[in-house]
Amino acid sequence: MNTKSFLMSGIAGTFVCFLLGWLFYGILFPDVYPQNDEECMLFIFLGCLFYAFTFALIFNRWAQISTFSSGIKAGFLLGLLWSLSMSFFMYASKESIDSNFLILIAIDAVSAAIMGGIIALVIGKTKA
């Protein structure tokens, strides 16, 4: 695995993930997660960091994904599966699935697709 490619793609993915979260959850769909005073941007950023580096590791080491289009496809599938699994875990302690379930799944899958595309693009540009 190329360390430079891994680090650069992970950092790029982190910022894309963070900005897409702000766009989708802060601007376009603010009612999905109503804002409260308890949010900690540091923890949100750290979540994006580890999420993006997970994709960067998979794309760099095992999948050899290094084009934007292949990154979008793989990112969408990984994001969809991850979002479904985490949503089912979260809803396990609730009485029922709320009306935002499908919206959250779609947002997460689309965000992961875009992030995956950027990560793969950076990998393709930095591998030498």
**Residue 73 pLDDT exceeds 80:** yes
Rounded mean pLDDT, 53-61: 97
**If DSSP states are collapsed to H, E and C, what string results for 14-50?**
HHHHHHHHHHHHHHHCCCCCCCCCCCCHHHHHHHHHH
Report d(CA 54, CA 58) in Å as an integer: 6
Q: What is the DSSP letter of 96?
A: S
**Residue 94 pLDDT exceeds 70:** yes
Question: 6 pLDDT band (50/70/90 cuts)?
Answer: very high
Q: What's the pTM?
A: 0.92
Q: What is the DSSP letter of 60?
A: I
Mean pLDDT of the chain: 93
